[in-house]
Amino acid sequence: MPLNLAVAASICSLFCSLFAIVSAEDPYRFFNWNVTYGDIYPLGVRQRGILINWQFPGPDIHSVTNDNLIINVFNSLDEPFLLSWNGIQNRRNSFEDGVYGTTCPIPPGKNFTYILQVKDQIGSFYYFPSLAFHKAAGGFGGIRILSRPRIPVPFPDPAGDYTVLIGDWYKSNHTDLRAHLDKGKKLPLPDGILINGRGSGAAFNVEQGKTYRLRISNVGLQNSLNFRIQNHKMKLVEVEGTHTLQTTYSSLDVHVGQSYSVLVTADQPARDYYIVVSSRFTSTVLTTTGILHYSNSAGPVSGPIPGGPTVQIDWSLNQARSIRSNLTASGPRPNPQGSYHYGLINTTKTIRLSSSAGQVNGKQRYAINI
């Protein structure tokens, strides 16, 4: 199998590079990534994490609408490795989407250059390893696509723009977790929750009176998470590339795979405040905290850690229903986007998607519409 994979991968690399089409007039951004194992201590114990250029989480990709991203990935692991670019549309073909069966994995010791154009896209996304449960060991990072300078954005430029990757985390490594599923068992309750790779103390610096953009993605394995900041409100402005009606929330549910942008104004007395992420729909609630640090802070975090919703499903559904696209705001192109009759289009086909969990040949697997 590994040999076949290796052969398949080199054939695929050949074809993929032949088929890769980039638009000459748009800017290029080059990335050289070395994917290695390395020691990480997110929950205080040593773990063998998957690092990209010695970073955990991996480096952010910063880009502007229509940029060509040339990402040369060297796989220095001992297993085939594959990256998926969550939310990147890959117009014209899906060769490099990074899902097994569509894109070949990179064999150990080899490299592959992903060529992606973020054509007509804006917003907040992330990348992650899509094979072999590697995601349980790291290898993920943020992707942001800024609007081109001429395109209006429906809020003032923030004073700072932070990537906030949240996710459940296990002390067991990815090979042990994989073996657990293959024995037909479901994953146990995670050992903790990470914010930007840290089990506690992830800090975000702000200046009093200024407004910041937080791009929050749930990069975890299975748990929905609630995100909130002590004494601060969040104004939701973008969800995965669409500007939303700007609604204010005191806490937000972020399900696995979702990315939300919120604006937070440092409008409180100058001190440090808790950033809280807790698990949803679990009987034992896991909670982790980070810090919103005012540059003129008069003191450390204090007071009780603010609570959030725990098992209430209706709360989560109602919040999701409250999120609406702003149909008059610009997207990747100036408004109108070409679909401004949305509310008037009659439904002609309804597709229902339903997730399920079951066993295939004694192994625990998850599916859609089976």
Instruction: State which amino acid sits at residue 207.
Output: E
Helices (H) and strands (E) in the chain — how many of each?
3, 21
Measure the CA–CA gap between 309 and 311, rounded to whole angstroms. 7
Q: Contact between 265 and ligand NAG (CB under 6 A)?
A: no
Specify the stretch interacting with ligand NAG by CB under 6 A; choose among 111-119, 157-165, 190-198, 361-369.
Answer: 111-119
Q: What per-residue string of b and e applies to 215-236 under the rule 16 or more CB within 10 Å gives b?
A: bbbbbbbebbbbbbbbebebbb
Which residues does 208 contact at the CB level (< 8 Å), separation at least 6? 266, 267, 270, 294, 295, 296
Q: Which amino acid is at 162?
A: Y
DSSP code for 24: T
Q: Which is nearer to ligand NAG, 246 or 268 (CB)?
A: 246
Binding characters for ligand NAG, 144-163, by CB under 6 A (x = yes): ----------x---------
Residues 310-349 as x/- pattern, contact with ligand NAG by CB under 6 A? ----------------x-xx--------------xxx---
Instruction: Please pick, from the candidates 55, 89, 173, 205, the single residue that binds ligand NAG as defined by CB under 6 A.
Output: 173
Q: At a CB cut-off of 8 Å and minimum separation 6, what does 232 contact?
A: 264, 265, 266, 267, 268, 273, 292
Q: Which stretch binds ligand NAG (CB under 6 A): 59-67, 89-97, 168-176, 224-232?
A: 168-176
Query: Which 29-48 positions form the footprint of ligand NAG (CB under 6 A)?
Result: 34, 36, 48
Q: In what order do the strands lie in the sheet with 203-206?
A: 203-206, 287-294, 272-279, 225-229, 251-254
Least Å from the CB of residue 28 to ligand NAG? 15
Choose which of 66, 72, 231, 242 interacts with ligand NAG (CB under 6 A).
72
Closest to ligand NAG by CB, 6 vs 225, is 6
For the bound state, the minimum distance from the C-beta of residue 303 to ligand NAG, rounded and expressed in Å, comes to 32
Nearer to ligand NAG, 177 or 219 (CB): 177
Q: How far is the CB of 243 from ligand NAG (least distance, A)?
A: 7
Q: Are 142 and 217 in contact (CB under 8 A)?
A: yes
Structure tokens, 241? 């590339």
DSSP three-state, residue 219 = coil
Determine if 113 is a binding residue for ligand NAG (CB under 6 A): yes
> Which residues of the chain form contacts with ligand NAG (CB under 6 A)?
13, 34, 36, 48, 72, 74, 76, 111-113, 154, 173, 175-176, 245-246, 326, 328-329, 344-346
